[in-house]
């Protein structure tokens, strides 16, 4: 037992440094000029009032998905790839509560390695395998987890996915139509900044199976796929979910146990130094 944490500490520090350096390099790369690319969804916006009303009805139902599932916790396995290379493949535990309160514990070789938390006001971060490691704090109402997860995911996005909901970053209906190549429908939304979000629904238009988020330049920022779902206490929640972008950054969460509607306290989303 005495030698194990020291070995893990060195290994985790190497992984953490690699993650942070790769995140910095990714940020610099993202700032470079992008070549022109084809419009991902060419065509005029919807003009038929009946189709527009239908689309708004479907969008309203999407917004209400699992809205009464306010708290949840679970354990599972998280695999993170950065530019195609595995950076993390280990256990994860979480507990979340609306609005934007989230606590994650990432494990390494079976031991807690990293703690991340946000209470809606402050983001907390601590490497737990480093003896006496400080708890780092950043003021943020909706903290960004991209340094660890390799993708632009905020606490609100992660909590939405864990609750079986789609993070909506656009609101204006542009298109609503059958997919054509497979059973189902496409609901295309746009935002004032020029970004667009495509929602791919099942044939009954009751479930979102996948969403794609594009920036104003047409670059795929996020791809979210609910690969498998499960029923827990009447809620349809993820069993396996994948998030990716066009740069081969990706994560896959496999849920092993899930609890819905768990009691929470504010202290669960605040990290304090050990001792």
pLDDT digits (tens, 9 = 90+) for 152-201: 999 999 999 999 999 999 999 999 999 877 889 999 999 999 999 999 99
**Comparison of pLDDT for 7 and 94, the residue scoring more:** 94
Rounded to the nearest angstrom, the gap between the alpha carbon of residue 217 and the centroid of all alpha carbons in its chain is: 22
* Pairwise CA distance, residues 125 & 115, whole Å: 6
pLDDT at 48: 93
What is the arithmetic mean of pLDDT over 4-32? 40
Q: Please state, as a whole number, how many other Cβ atoms lie within 10 Å of the Cβ of residue 126.
A: 20
Considering the domain boundaries, does residue 39 fall inside one? no
With respect to residue 136, please indicate whether it lies within any of the assigned structural domains. yes
- CATH number (domain holding residue 146): 2.50.20.10
Lowest mean pLDDT among 66-70, 74-78, 179-183: 179-183
Whether residue 90 lies inside any domain: the answer is yes
Identify the band that residue 275 occupies on the pLDDT scale cut at 50, 70 and 90: low
* pLDDT for residue 20: 39
Burial classification of residue 150, based on how many CB atoms lie within 10 Å of its CB (0-12 exposed, 13-18 middle, 19 or more buried) = buried
Residue-level pLDDT at 110? 84
The answer to whether residue 243 is domain-embedded is yes
Q: Which residues contact 7 (CB under 8 A, 6 or more apart)?
A: none
Note the pTM of the prediction, 2 decimals: 0.82
Q: What is the mean pLDDT of residues 227-240?
A: 97
Residues 6+ apart with CB under 8 A from 3: none
Confidence of residue 8 (pLDDT cuts 50, 70, 90): very low
Q: Please state, in angstroms and as integers, the Cα–Cα distance from residue 263 to each residue in 1, 68, 121, 124, following that order.
A: 34, 14, 20, 21
- Range 219-233 average pLDDT: 96
Query: Which range is least confidently modeled, 4-18, 61-75, 127-141?
Result: 4-18
Q: Which residues pair with 220 in a beta bridge?
A: 214
- Where in the sequence is the domain holding 8, given as residue range(s)? 3-26+47-269
Weakest-pLDDT range from 5-9, 231-235, 263-267: 5-9
- Given this model, what pLDDT does residue 37 score? 54
Q: Which of 130, 89, 56, 71 is nearest to 266 (CA)?
A: 71
Give the number of other Cβ atoms within 10 Å of residue 159's Cβ. Answer: 23
Environment class of residue 119 by beta-carbon count within 10 Å: exposed (0-12), middle (13-18) or buried (19+)?
buried
Residue 137's pLDDT is 95
What is the total count of domains within the chain?
1
Q: Is residue 54 part of a domain?
A: yes
Other Cβ atoms closer than 10 A to 269: 22
Evaluate whether 151 touches 222 at the Cβ level (below 8 Å). yes
Q: What are phi and psi of 146, to 5 degrees?
A: -65, -30
199 falls within a domain: yes
Output the pLDDT for position 39. 64
Q: What is the pLDDT of residue 62?
A: 97
Determine, yes or no, domain membership for 38.
no
- Distance, in Å, from the CA atom of 223 to the CA atom of 148, rounded to the nearest integer, reads 18
Answer whether residue 34 is part of any domain.
no
Tokens standing for 142? 């909706």
Question: What is residue 72's three-state secondary structure?
Answer: strand
- Average pLDDT (222-248) is 96
**Antiparallel, parallel or unpaired: β 122-127 and 111-118:** antiparallel
The pLDDT of residue 106: 95
């Amino acid at each position: 037992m005495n030698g194990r944490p020291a070995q893990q500490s060195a290994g985790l520090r190497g992984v953490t440094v690699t993650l942070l350096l790769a995140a910095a390099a990714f940020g610099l790369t993202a700032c470079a000029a992008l070549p022109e690319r084809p419009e991902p969804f060419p065509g005029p916006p919807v003009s038929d009032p009946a189709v527009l009303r239908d689309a708004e009805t479907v969008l309203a139902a999407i917004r209400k998905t699992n809205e009464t599932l306010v708290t949840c916790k679970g354990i599972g396995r998280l695999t993170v790839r950065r530019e195609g290379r595995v950076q993390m493949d280990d256990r994860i535990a979480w507990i979340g509560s609306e609005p934007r309160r989230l606590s994650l514990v990432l494990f390494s070789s079976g031991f807690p390695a990293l703690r991340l938390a946000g209470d809606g006001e402050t983001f907390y971060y601590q490497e737990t395998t480093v003896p006496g490691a400080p708890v780092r704090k950043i003021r943020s109402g909706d903290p960004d987890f991209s340094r660890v997860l390799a993708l632009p995911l905020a606490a609100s996005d992660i909590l939405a996915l864990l609750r079986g909901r789609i993070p909506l970053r656009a609101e204006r209906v542009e298109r609503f139509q059958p997919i054509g190549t497979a059973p189902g429908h496409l609901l295309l939304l746009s935002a004032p900044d020029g970004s667009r979000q495509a929602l791919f629904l099942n044939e009954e238009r009751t479930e979102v199976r996948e969403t794609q988020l594009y920036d104003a330049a047409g670059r795929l920022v996020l791809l979210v796929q609910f690969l498998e779902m499960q029923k827990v206490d009447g809620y349809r929640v993820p069993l396996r979910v994948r998030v990716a972008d066009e740069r081969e950054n990706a994560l896959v969460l496999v849920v092993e146990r899930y609890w819905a509607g768990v009691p929470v306290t504010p202290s669960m989303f605040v990290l304090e130094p050990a001792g």
